Copies of this chain bind each other. A is one copy, B any other.
């Protein structure tokens, strides 16, 4: 069929000005749900991606004092020297390894650190391995820079644990990176040390970069020790670790994250960082210094609080028809599945419209989990109880056959 004017107009309407690479960025599923929710009354949110507790007062005070003594200009490009130094000491003690300030760069939240790490390695012809489900940033950023992705599916029946042999089997000659995220958003799963060691060792042997998103590294329940990739690798040549203050100290809006890597990697990425955002917020970097040096009471309080909520949420999911849950060991999410073949997006939309409970559909986090829902327990116990008073009777009426 020859091209008609119609076809030409259709092509024109495709916004030809934009870099086609931006097409890899999905329409954000979370935003869609939250926007719809904002038009409804009496909504209970199980959709929240940041702590619901206030920032500790000593941390707020440190940012206030920094501003009042004129700390409102640029820091050095890698970040505030006092924060780099504090992070090096903090990580050195936590994981019993030597880190220098030159191994660290401060960024605008963990998001910028992930953006820099992933887009600095991805390029046409390069292959990456990503868990599925996973935080929705990873695969689009890899693809945006021309890389291709193999997703390794995980299942609620198996606590969404990843099989290290499946990861290793997926390695190809052109594999350049493996993305890990433990505790995971959206599943709350914490990978055991053996899983990490096996993957990290194989990656180092093959010269593949591990990019480890560890933003929930302090939200670890049941008194367990957190296995960071930093405690599972002999050197940093093939490892980049990302974290932030957002979840640990309820500082999401202060936008202070960081990237840890070899000194060579940090040197390279600092230059890239100068071109994306220049530097991170100065007064809030001072807040970060205080967070690392001040009391840990806030973290303990938060862990106690979130443990109770998690335990109750696990019980409630168990009591809900059609939902398969598990006991997550970290973060503040549970990612139960609906019966196979159920359309999680339709369920989430109907649940919101018909009961006023806002969850996030599984397909936001990957292609293998369309029959799942992400539930966040970063909300009050009262809200958790009330939401299931609506969810359970609604689910009883559903038929997924």
Contacts and interface: CB of A to CB of B under 8 A. Distances in A.
A276 B25 CA distance: 11
Contacts of A77: 28, 31
B271 A15 contact: no
A264 B120 CA distance: 28
Contacts of A28: 77, 271, 274
A276 B118 CA distance: 11
A72 B254 contact: yes
A143 to B, nearest CB: 11
A189 interface: no
A71 B253 contact: yes
A327 to B, nearest CB: 28
Contact of A281 (B119, B176, B284): B284
Contacts of A141: 275
A112 B72 CA distance: 18
Contact of A119 (B19, B55, B108, B254): B19
Interface string A264-301: 10001001101111111111100000000000000000
B72 A67 contact: no
A72 B252 contact: yes
Contacts of A67: 55, 60, 63-64
Contacts of A122: 19
Given A21-B123, A72-B252, 19 more contacts: A17-B176, A19-B120, A19-B122, A25-B271, A25-B272, A28-B271, A31-B274, A50-B73, A73-B250, A75-B253, A108-B112, A111-B274, A111-B277, A115-B275, A254-B283, A255-B280, A255-B282, A276-B276, A283-B284
A75 B68 CA distance: 24
Copies of this chain assembled into the complex: 2
A324 to B, nearest CB: 30
A215 B301 CA distance: 44
Interface in A17-42: 17-22, 25, 27-28, 31
Question: Which bracket fits the contact residues of A?
Answer: 35 or more
A133 interface: no
A68 to B, nearest CB: 7
Contact of A111 (B73, B144, B275): B275
B112 A277 contact: yes
A74 interface: yes
A250 B17 CA distance: 34
B282 A253 contact: yes
A351 interface: no
Interface in A46-103: 49-50, 54-55, 60, 63-64, 67-68, 70-75, 77
* Centre residue among A28, A108, A264, A280 by max chain B CB count within 10 A: A108
A121 interface: yes
Contacts of A74: 49-50, 252-253
A109 interface: yes
25 contacts: A15-B268, A17-B176, A19-B120, A19-B122, A19-B145, A20-B123, A22-B120, A27-B271, A31-B77, A55-B67, A55-B70, A63-B283, A72-B251, A73-B252, A108-B255, A109-B277, A109-B278, A111-B277, A115-B275, A115-B277, A253-B279, A255-B277, A281-B281, A281-B284, A283-B284
